[in-house]
Amino acid sequence: MGCRFVRNRARRSARYAIVATVIALHAVTANAEVWGYIDEQGVSHFATYKQDERYQLFYRGGSTLDPPPANTDSSGKAALERSALYHRVIDHPNVRRFTPLIEQQAKLHAVDPALVKAVIAVESAFDPDAVSPKGALGLMQVIPATGARYGLTDDKRRTVEQKLLDPATNVRIGVRYLRDLLHLFADDLALALAAYNAGEEAVRQNGNRIPPYPETQDYVSLVRQFEALYQPPKPLPAPPLRPRLRLPARGLADAIATPPAP
């Protein structure tokens, strides 16, 4: 399961892809960044740093867009929020279309929906017809061997590959596999994501560490940053309570204010 894919249905003219091409892993911190641009063919490119002048800052930090000052207008609104890049990842119709399915499967398997969205964004850019050169399929780029592992088989109507292009089947199996990887690696998200990208054995053979493959290291970094991007905004803190002065009853107040007769 990787970051690159091609389409298997020529009738679809729009192309949506996220291609991680970073050559060094940047630690995911509060200031982690995602840079990106859309090329002439309509393909989205994302990286964890500005590789060349085509890249513009898309996202920084935990849960809010934070473009550079040059990308704000006189009202202070981020110009990037109106860009095609922003709307492709945040407001693309397929994000809304598949959110109920994602939330259903995430809740069923106790996985953060933001994490599932992040994996889908990096794997397929929410294209249900995505097919990678290595044969990974659909929204979560599930390979046929993984589908078979979770009970998919060919039948008279459809092959495993065809079944994996069904969004409901693809997300169901992809989320189950992600949940199993989290369990396998003791809820270590970085290792689970590395295994999702490079395979469980690659992680084990590297002493339960992220394998030293640039693609896998970039993948882990990008997914974690997109997970932060898809987290719902934190609720605003409640305003502080105003102190309230409670006066004693009138009769008691009068008794206190009036000294007793001699």
Catalytic residue (choose from 33, 123, 200, 201):
123
**Cα–Cα distance list, 130 to 35, 37, 94, 171, 221 (Å):** 23, 20, 13, 13, 22
- Determine whether 123 is an active site residue: yes
* Cβ–Cβ under 8 Å, residues 126 and 98: yes
For residues 55 and 85, the answer to whether their CB atoms sit within 8 Å is: no
Q: What DSSP line would sit under 70-98, residue for residue?
A: GGB-TT--BGGGGSHHHHHHHT-HHHHHH
Q: Is 198:208 a contact under the CB 8 Å cutoff?
A: no
Active site residues: 123
